Structure 1
Amino acid sequence: MSSLCPFAKLASAGATCPVKSDNKTTSCPVNHTDDDNEKTGNANTDPRVVPAKCPFGYDSNTFKLGPLSCMVCHALLHQSSKCTPCSHKFCKACILRFKDCPLCGADIQGIEPDDELQGLVDRFIDGHARIKRSHAAGDGEFASDKTKVIYEDVSMERGAFLVQQAMRAFRAQNIESAKSRLSMCAEDIREELKSKEDNQELCSQLGAVLGMLGDCCRTLGDAPSAITYYEESAEFLSKLPKKDLEVFVHTLSVSLNKIGDLHYYDGDLHSARSYYARSLDVRRSAVKEHSAVASQVIDVATSLAKVADVDRNLGNESMAVEGFEEAIKCLENLKLESGEASLEQRRLSVLDFLQKQLDDK
């Protein structure tokens, strides 16, 4: 799952993301690692707004662990389950991996659902990141209670919270939990888009979250659902300004490549080539505008290798060789600074793959 936070552009200056994960494309004819990005959310600055206070210490910037968290995946409990006889509580998917309690070491004789605790977690999530706004004339409908306080969702804070919980769960291999949190986030953004159909920030957020949902489905082995999410992600990301390298180029091209990967390993080479070629077009356009960005040049070479690999498998050897040679030329002409060791390692890795492909012709 990508560590790119879909709520990045609303982040406060100097803030950092509490979770950072590597996003590696594992089902790909060319092995490579996509760039990481550190993001976070930011608080509402309206002077009339009083941020909600959580008794367990949670907030949108620190995401502290508390009694509603699973001590295995460090995310909020999902399908809360209790071990017997020790009564310690974890996510169902997490505790099923153990034969003895990871907290006390007692042998697990059984696992029981804790619906009461899960209900509390669900209520907490439902209310988290809602702000309390004192009612004033013209602010809208009166609240039903006597205090005349209106609760409204702050999509940025709630979205950032749900995404970070999902990333924690995904990193700990609790994929169902990650998928559940991301689905809630996607529903929130879709609801916002009903009244703000052309909002670029919301399209960016939804595109990124849908891509993460695709990662969840791919990990669970549900390729059709993964492709559906990736395609919808690409649809929303395609609405964004093409000058945005981070969102448009990186996230969109990776989503297109992932669709291609799924078709590639399903044996549908023609569909795979179509998506790889679309990703290549996106990256070529980016290099024209940002020729000095080394990572973009390496991405172009990687996409050329993907397309050429499929051409070879389709029997188009001359086209494959042409693609491999173009990719090698891109990488050989790329000059990196001494401080760009990670990019140099990636450049050499892709270059080694390409040279081996030519040797095999």
Structure 2
Amino acid sequence: MSSACPFSKAGNAGGVCPMKFTENSDNHQAENGDTGKKDGDDSAVLSPKCPFGYDSQSFKLGPLSCLVCHALLFESSKCMPCSHKFCKACISRFKDCPLCGADIEKIEPDTDLQEVVERFIEGHARIKRSQVNTDPKEGGGEHKNVIYEDVSMERGAFLVQQAMRAFLAQNIGSAKSRLSICVEDMREQLERTGNTSELCSQLGAALGMLGDCCRAMGDAGPAISYYEESVEFLSKLPAHDLEVVHTLSVSLNKIGDLKYYDEDLQSARSYYFRSLDVRRNAVKNNPNVSSQMVDVAVSLAKVADVDRNLGNEGTAVDGFQEAIKCLESLTLDPKDTALEQRRLSVLEFLHSQLAVDPNPVNVSSV
């Protein structure tokens, strides 16, 4: 899954993003109505109170989380005879209960608990406010309606956090389910508000993560569809946002990888080259960002690899050499050890491609 967080401006404690813990998030209390009132609206806004101990700022889940993946329960199941409850995908990997160590004789679905989890998702990240209406048919008298309204950014951040936890624990079905709800929320908001930069960025990233889920499940067709839709939304955004540029180029590369595995080399090269073009433009706009130059080298290697497999050896060698030149001319901050390790890893691969006879080696793992 992408490391770029589409919800860094959503509500979370201490500016901690649920996807990228080093990012800062903006204070959006006024946006979500946490001030108690909205401009031009005298209706009071009340924070939801959860009987299960849910905290909308720190995303504490209480008893509705799985001990194995640490995300919201998905397809809640209990292992017998101890009756301890986990996600179905999580507990299916064990012969003994992870909580008490008892032998698992069988696993049973817990539909009642799962219904509670689904109501939990549906009911949280909402605000409750009373609305005063005047009905002229009844003599102009006032009456109050209590209505609920989604706070989609906070809800989205919560769902993305749960999806990331589940994905990292290999509970792909859970991750896909949470992301699907998140994407549906954002599509509905797009219909109400139109395309805003922030919403397009968030939707593009979430669609890319859905593509990752499908890819992990072996569903190449749906994965490509999600990646292509991610590209569609991210392409609408200004090119000065480096995280958007990175997410866009990664989605293009992932489509290229899937085309490559399907032996559609011409399509693979087309998507790899589009990613390369995006990254080259990013370097032009941000020449001092070293990570962008490493990304360009990776894209050059991908394009060159396809050229070699297409029989264009001279073009492939030129691409490998250009990528080497990019990386060897790059001076990094000594403190940035992770980027230096990546640079050396890519360099090693590139030199190996020039040192051996042409072989159909895919560079999707670089």
Report the 3-state secondary structure (helix = DSSP H, G, I; strand = E; otherwise coil) of the residue aligned with 1:9: coil
Match of 2:266 in 1: 270
Q: Distance in 2 between matches of 1:66 and 1:309?
A: 49
Query: How far has the Cα of 1:63 moved from its partner?
Result: 1.7
Q: Distance in 1 between matches of 2:11 and 2:339?
A: 26
Match of 2:3 in 1: 3
Sort the Cα spacing of 1:308 and 1:37 in 2 relative to 1 into closer, same or farther, 3 A: farther
Report the 3-state secondary structure (helix = DSSP H, G, I; strand = E; otherwise coil) of the residue aligned with 2:108: strand
TM-score, with length taken from structure 2: 0.88
Conserved 8 A contact 1:182-1:209? yes
Sort the Cα spacing of 1:40 and 1:81 in 2 relative to 1 into closer, same or farther, 3 A: farther
Sort the Cα spacing of 1:157 and 1:13 in 2 relative to 1 into closer, same or farther, 3 A: closer
Report the 3-state secondary structure (helix = DSSP H, G, I; strand = E; otherwise coil) of the residue aligned with 1:8: coil
Query: How far has the Cα of 1:68 moved from its partner?
Result: 1.1
Sort the Cα spacing of 1:225 and 1:209 in 2 relative to 1 into closer, same or farther, 3 A: same
Conserved 8 A contact 1:6-1:204? yes
Q: Does 1:251 align with 2:254?
A: no
Query: How far has the Cα of 1:236 moved from its partner?
Result: 0.7
Q: Does 1:134 align with 2:130?
A: yes
Matched-pair identity in %: 71
Q: Does 1:229 align with 2:226?
A: yes
Conserved 8 A contact 2:249-2:276? yes
Highest Rg: 1 or 2?
2
Deviation larger for 58-67 or 347-356? 58-67
Conserved 8 A contact 2:132-2:145? no
Q: Distance in 1 between matches of 2:248 and 2:351?
A: 28
Query: How far has the Cα of 1:147 moved from its partner?
Result: 6.4
Conserved 8 A contact 1:83-1:89? yes
Match of 1:155 in 2: 152
Conserved 8 A contact 1:82-1:88? yes
- 2:329 is aligned, of 326, 333, 336, to 333
Match of 2:237 in 1: 240
Q: How many residues are aligned here?
A: 338
Q: Distance in 2 between matches of 1:63 and 1:191?
A: 24
Q: Distance in 2 between matches of 1:167 and 1:40?
A: 18
Letter in 1 for 2:210: L
Sort the Cα spacing of 1:10 and 1:160 in 2 relative to 1 into closer, same or farther, 3 A: closer
Match of 1:16 in 2: 16
Q: How does 1:277-356 map to 2 (within 5 A)?
A: 277-356=273-352
Conserved 8 A contact 2:54-2:60? yes
Letter in 2 for 1:204: S
Q: Distance in 1 between matches of 2:130 and 2:4?
A: 34
Q: Distance in 2 between matches of 1:241 and 1:123?
A: 38
Q: Distance in 2 between matches of 1:69 and 1:345?
A: 36
Gapped regions of structure 2 (runs ≥ 5): 38-44, 135-142, 358-366
Match of 2:180 in 1: 183
Letter in 2 for 1:78: F
Letter in 2 for 1:167: M
Q: Distance in 2 between matches of 1:61 and 1:311?
A: 50
- 1:73 is aligned, of 62, 69, 74, to 69
Q: How does 1:30-179 map to 2 (within 5 A)?
A: 38=23, 43=29, 44=32, 45-48=34-37, 49-136=45-132, 148-179=145-176
Query: How far has the Cα of 1:163 moved from its partner?
Result: 0.5
Sort the Cα spacing of 1:100 and 1:14 in 2 relative to 1 into closer, same or farther, 3 A: closer
1:132-178 Cα offsets, whole Å, 9 max, x none, are 2232469xxxxxxx863221100001000110011111111110000
Letter in 1 for 2:36: P
Report the 3-state secondary structure (helix = DSSP H, G, I; strand = E; otherwise coil) of the residue aligned with 1:158: helix
Letter in 2 for 1:17: C
Report the 3-state secondary structure (helix = DSSP H, G, I; strand = E; otherwise coil) of the residue aligned with 1:67: helix
Match of 1:142 in 2: none
Conserved 8 A contact 2:10-2:157? no
* Structure 1 vs Structure 2 CA RMSD: 2.0
Conserved 8 A contact 2:5-2:19? no
Conserved 8 A contact 2:203-2:230? yes
Report the 3-state secondary structure (helix = DSSP H, G, I; strand = E; otherwise coil) of the residue aligned with 2:3: coil
Query: How far has the Cα of 1:215 moved from its partner?
Result: 0.4
Higher relative contact order (CA 8 A, sep 6+): 1
Query: How far has the Cα of 1:290 moved from its partner?
Result: 0.4
Letter in 1 for 2:74: H
Q: Distance in 1 between matches of 2:64 and 2:175?
A: 16
Letter in 1 for 2:122: D
Q: Distance in 1 between matches of 2:197 and 2:343?
A: 33
Q: Distance in 1 between matches of 2:323 and 2:154?
A: 42
Report the 3-state secondary structure (helix = DSSP H, G, I; strand = E; otherwise coil) of the residue aligned with 2:193: coil
Q: How does 1:190-209 map to 2 (within 5 A)?
A: 190-209=187-206
Gapped regions of structure 1 (runs ≥ 5): 21-35, 139-145
Match of 2:215 in 1: 218
